[in-house]
Amino acid sequence: MPRLDLLIAHNLGFSRGVVTRLCRQGRVSTPEGAPLRDPALQIPPAGLPMAIQLDDAPHTLYLRYHLLQHKPLGVVTALRDDRHATAYDLLKSAPLHKDLRAAGRLDLETSGLLLWTTEGPLLHRMTHPRYAVPRVYQAALRGSWQPPPPGFALDDGHVPEIAELKPLAREDAHPGLDVPFGTTTLASITIIGGKFHEVRRIFAGLGSEVLGLCRVSYGPLVLPTTLAAGQYLELDLHSVFAGMHPRPRGGPEAADDGASDDVIVDELPEEADA
Ligand code: URA
């Protein structure tokens, strides 16, 4: 069970020493005003997230946090970037912001559903090809596409796993899909995997050019049409992904190196101190 001092330090960015002093001075209390003087107080999982007051200001303490973001066009998925704004910058108000990592990288000019979590093992499960999480993209295309021929491979030899590829009616397009001038057709594509520019390269290989791209679902999660670009909502990714099982070895990813380009591997968060 996490300790009160660790939770406060983790959520509010104080050192343990400072938190100990705050507790002992009676400056940390329950929302009802009862002082929480013991920094080593164990907080049961059922008590989280936990509301406290610090010097009469309300705070909520989280052990973990997950969210679903509608990534807008024109921002990169990286945590830092010298040239562009980042999707991460748009989450500054989120709890545990410094520990959030994205599951799946979307290009600068791709919008749509981007999941974030503070938990490294869950991130691994959501992105590793063995868990075969399907991703659905809607694409605005210039030129019509051919159905993938048998053994269809990309320019680097990667064989994409295309679960579904079909035309998309204009009225079924997500409001987050950019449909620029020059678009001649819309398509919906479901792929398993997350190689670099995979959808753009698939359509290039099938004879058309992606002008607009929006990820509309990831596993069972769908980008709500009411969630504006740049906005996010809190959700419990554990209940969605923790029960997933990997595909048996020797599946389609065995022909590849098994690696996904989908996850930002630098600075994966450790499991929160529990
Ligand atoms: N495939 C792409 O080509 N771009 C993305 O952003 C995601 C998948």
Measure the CA–CA gap between 186 and 166, rounded to whole angstroms.
Answer: 9
Last residue of a domain, one of 12, 29, 61: 61
Structure tokens at 269: 């968060």
pTM score: 0.88
Pocket probe mutation, ligand 1, options 177, 197, 260, max atoms within 8 Å of Cβ: 197
Same domain flag for 193 and 112? yes
Last residue of a domain, one of 32, 61, 90: 61
Same domain flag for 37 and 142? no
One-character DSSP codes across 143-171: S--PPPPTT---TTS---EEEEEEE--GG
> What pLDDT, on a 0 to 100 scale, did the predictor assign at position 253?
55
Same domain flag for 77 and 202? yes
pLDDT-derived band at 194 (thresholds 50, 70, 90) equals confident
User: Alpha carbon of 166 to those of 117, 134, 144, 185: distances in Å?
Assistant: 31, 15, 11, 11
Last residue of a domain, one of 45, 61, 77: 61
Q: Could you tell me if 273 and 8 are in contact, meaning their C-beta atoms sit under 8 angstroms apart? A: no
Same domain flag for 39 and 80? no
Those residues whose C-beta lies under 8 Å from the C-beta of residue 94, and which sit 6 or more positions away, are 65, 67, 100, 116, 232
The tally of domains found in the chain comes to 2
Same domain flag for 25 and 115? no
Those residues whose C-beta lies under 8 Å from the C-beta of residue 237, and which sit 6 or more positions away, are 66, 115, 117, 119, 122, 126
* Mean pLDDT of the 56-81 span: 95
Measure the CA–CA gap between 76 and 65, rounded to whole angstroms.
Answer: 21
In a domain, 169, yes or no: yes
In a domain, 182, yes or no: yes
Nearest ligand 1 atom, CA 201: 3
In a domain, 261, yes or no: no
pLDDT-derived band at 268 (thresholds 50, 70, 90) equals very low
118: domain CATH number is 3.30.2350.10
Same domain flag for 71 and 148? yes
Quick check: 91 pLDDT over 70?
Answer: yes
Ligand 1 is surrounded, with C-beta below 6 A, by: 106-107, 110, 197-200, 213
Q: Which domain holds residue 51?
A: 4-61
Nearest ligand 1 atom, CA 215: 7
Same domain flag for 96 and 10? no
> What pLDDT, on a 0 to 100 scale, did the predictor assign at position 258?
46
- At 133-148, the pLDDT tens digits run 999 999 999 999 999 9
Same domain flag for 77 and 170? yes
In a domain, 260, yes or no: no
- At 234-259, the pLDDT tens digits run 999 988 987 788 887 766 554 444 44
- At 142-184, the pLDDT tens digits run 999 999 999 999 999 999 999 999 999 999 999 999 999 999 9
Measure the CA–CA gap between 52 and 61, rounded to whole angstroms.
Answer: 8
55: domain CATH number is 3.10.290.10
> What pLDDT, on a 0 to 100 scale, did the predictor assign at position 138?
98
Please state, for a pLDDT cut of 70, what percent of the chain lies above it.
91
